[in-house]
Structure 1
Amino acid sequence: MDPIVEVVALILGFTGWVMVGVALPNRYWKVSTVDGNVITTSTIYENLWMSCATDSTGVHNCREFPSLLALNGYIQASRALMIVSIVMGTFGLVGALIGIQCSKAVGENYVLKGRIAGTAGVFFILQGLCTMVSVSWYAFNITQDFFDPFYPGIRYEIGEGLYIGWCSGVLAIAGGACLTCSCRVAREEKYNLPYQARGTVYSGPAPTRSVVASTYGRNAYV
C-alpha cells in the first residue's frame, strides 16, 4: 500500500482521537432553546457530567450530577461509549504507529506490518462507531423531547459538543478504513509472488504439467 495513504490514515485517526477528547469534556452537549421566549434571562447547558447556567450578565454557575444511578439510561450509556471510544482510539493509534511502512518497528516484515495496521484500522473503526452511537443517541433524546408537545420540562437544542463528536466519528472511520485496506493489500502481495524457474522470472501463472513434460521430456518424471 502507498505509504502516503497510510500516513494520511494515521493523521485522520489521530485527529478523530483528539476530537473525542475535546468533545467528552465539552459543556455544550445541549443548550436550552430560546424559541418562543421574548426575554431570556438565563441559558442552561449540559453535557454528560454536569449542568450549567449563565445569566444575562455572563456569570456562570455549574454543578455536577449528584448521582450516577439517578441519571437517565442514555446518559450513562453515552458516558460508557465515549470512554470506550477513547480506549479504542488509543490502541488504534499505537498500532498505526507500529504498522505503517515508514515506521522502523518490526523491521522489514511488511506482511506483519500490514496485519498490525489492519488491526489498528479496526480499532479506529470501533472508535468511530462508539462515538457516533453515543452522540447520535444523545441527540435523538434531545430532538424527541423538543418536538414532544406534552413534554413539561425545559426544551434543549443540539450543542457544539455533539457536532465535534460527529466529526470525530467520521474521521476515525475514514482513517480506520484506509488502514484496514493495507492489511488486505499486503496479504494479496504475499500470495501473488512471481513464479521462478531455473533463474528466470515468469510473471504469469505457474506452468502446467503438460507444458513442463513437453519441455523436459518423459524421463523428467518417474
Structure 2
Amino acid sequence: MGNMATEITAFLLTISGWILVSSTLPTDYWKVSSVDGTVITTATFWSNLWKTCVTDSTGVSNCKDFPSMLALDAYIQVCRGLMIAAVCLGFFGAILALVGMKCTKIGGSKTTKARLTILSGFHFILSGLCCMTACSIYARRITADFFDPLFVAQKFELGAALFIGWAGSVLCILGGLIFCLSLSEGFSIRAEYSYNGAASFPTTRNKTSKPAQRPNKETQEPLRQFGRNAYV
C-alpha cells in the first residue's frame, strides 16, 4: 500500500512538471527588455523561441515571427530542440506510468509493470534535464549580453517562462527519481525474501529427515551363519 501511495505521489509530481514544461514552450516572455537606467519607457520588447514582439505604451503589441530557421542563432535552435524533446519524453513517460502503476489494471504481470514504471521514471528524468538545459542555455545568453559592457544593443532580463521551465524540470526529475528508487527498493526486498526462503528450505528438510537405522546384531548373526553353511 505504501509503494502504491509513493507511485501516486511520483505520478502527480511528474505530471505537474510535464504540464509546466509544456506550457513553457509557447509562453511569450522568455526574455523581456530591461528598464535599468531608463527614465521614460515608451515600449517593451519581449521575445521567445518563435517570435519577437514589442508593446507600446498604449498596450498594443506587434509581433514578428523569426523569418528563417537557418538564419537563427545556434542557441535558439538548440533550445527549440531540447524543449520539443522534453515535451515528447514527458508524454511517453506519462503513458508508461499509467500502464505500469499498480493502481491500474493493464500492463501484464507485476514484473512487467514494475519495469514499465522504472522506464517512465527515466523518461521523466530525461525530460526534466532537457528542459533545464534549454532554460539554462537561454538564460546564460541573456546574462552574458546584460553584463557585457561592449554590448550596445537592447539588453534583456530573464522572463517568466524560464522560471516556469526550471520549476517544471525540477518536478519531473524529482518524480522520476521517486519512481525509480521506490521500485528498485521493492525489487531488493523481494530478492532478499526469495533468497532467504531458498536458503531455509534445505535446513528444514534436514531437520525433518531421520537418520538411517543400522541393522541389529541379532539380525546379522543368522546371515553370517547362512553364508558359512553355503560355502561348506
Normalised-by-shorter TM-score class? 0.7 to 0.9
**Aligned partners of 1:53 and 1:62 also within 8 Å:** yes
**Map 1:16-27 → 2, pairs under 5 A:** 16-27=17-28
**Pair 1:84 & 2:77 matched:** no
Identify the residue that residue 10 of structure 1 maps to in structure 2: 11
TM-score, normalised on structure 1? Answer: 0.88
CA deviation after TM superposition for structure 1 residue 71, in Å:
1.1
TM-score, normalised on structure 2? Answer: 0.84
| Aligned equivalents of 2:202, 2:160: Cα separation in 1 | 68
What letter matches 2:164 in structure 1?
A: I
Identify the residue that residue 148 of structure 2 maps to in structure 1: 148
CA deviation after TM superposition for structure 1 residue 210, in Å:
8.1
**Aligned partners of 1:33 and 1:157 also within 8 Å:** yes
Q: Which stretch has the larger CA shift, 76-85 or 174-183? A: 174-183
What letter matches 2:173 in structure 1?
A: I
Give the total of aligned pairs.
211
CA deviation after TM superposition for structure 1 residue 215, in Å:
5.4
Structure 2 SS opposite 1:70? coil
Q: Which runs of 5+ in 1 are unaligned?
A: 196-202
| Aligned equivalents of 1:208, 1:19: Cα separation in 2 | 53
Identity of aligned residues (%): 43
Q: Alpha carbons of 1:193 and 1:69: their partners in 2 closer, same or farther (altered >3 Å)?
A: same
Q: Per-residue CA shift, 1:80-121, capped at 9, x if unaligned?
A: 0000000100110001101111011124x2222111110000
| Aligned equivalents of 1:159, 1:210: Cα separation in 2 | 68
| Aligned equivalents of 1:112, 1:204: Cα separation in 2 | 23
**Map 1:116-155 → 2, pairs under 5 A:** 116-155=116-155
**Aligned partners of 1:114 and 1:186 also within 8 Å:** no
Q: Per-residue CA shift, 1:59-92, capped at 9, x if unaligned?
A: 1000100011111111000000000000100110
Identify the residue that residue 171 of structure 1 maps to in structure 2: 171
Instruction: Report the structure, 1 or 2, having the larger helix content.
Output: 2
Structure 1 SS opposite 2:107? coil
Larger radius of gyration: 2
